[in-house]
Structure formats: structure tokens, C-alpha cells
Amino acid sequence: MLVNLLPLTPDTRDIMRLETLSKLQPGGYVINVARGAHLVEDDLITLIDNGHLAGAMLDVFRTEPLPAAHPFWQHPKITVTPHTSARTLRDESIAQIAGKILAMQRGEPIAGIVDPARGY
């Protein structure tokens, strides 16, 4: 099973393509909850249709919302979820944000800062 949680960077764009997905054991399964641009959609369908992969669960897509005519909707071995891989927990999120504001005011380091040079 491959679960993709990678940030989308120039190095990870299209990382889930025929070459890489073919390295999964026969019967492998793909879950993508990161970014739609990680996956080459036609390559996934090819590997499922030829029997190499058992299926996939996809929460993110190159085009969102996923067009009504997209083959993922009708494919019997692909499960489409509504881009909700993780719900935001309100109380926990407020506490985290407030904690970071207080730490910043005290001049303390803050975790989770986005580095534009790295892409995440």
C-alpha cells in the first residue's frame, strides 16, 4: 500500500507515475491525500486496468472539483472522497494558533513555519 502525504514541490510533481507505481507489489493499493499533481491519473488507471494495482482511494485531484465526466467517478476500483482527508478540530486549532502567537510575542521559536524556498 502506498499512502502519499508528500508536499507538492518540483521534485514531487508527477511522482506517482507509471515508473514509480509499477514498483509496488502486484495487488498494491494507492491512497493519495496530499496533492492531485502528485499523480499521473492515466498511469494509475492503466495499472489498475491491467491488474497490477488492486485499486486506489483518492481525496485530491489535478482538477478540483473533479469534473462530472472524469473516469474516476465510474471506475469500480477507485474510491473518490470529497477532499476531507482530515477535519479541522476547532478547539485544538484555536489553541495551537494562540500558542504560536504567544510564543512569537515572547521571542520563542515557532514550529511549522513555511519555507518558500523548500516549497512547504
Q: Which residues of 54-74 are buried (b: 16+ CB within 10 A; e: fewer)?
A: ebbbbbbbeeeebeeebebee
Sheet containing strand 78-80, edge to edge, reads: 2-4, 28-32, 53-58, 78-80
Q: Which of 17, 83, 87, 106 is catalytic?
A: 83
CB 17 within 8 A of CB 43: yes
70 is catalytic: no
Do 30 and 53 contact (CB within 8 A), yes or no?
A: yes
Active site residue 83: yes
Q: Out of 13, 35, 90, 106, which one is annotated catalytic?
A: 35
Active site residues: 35, 83
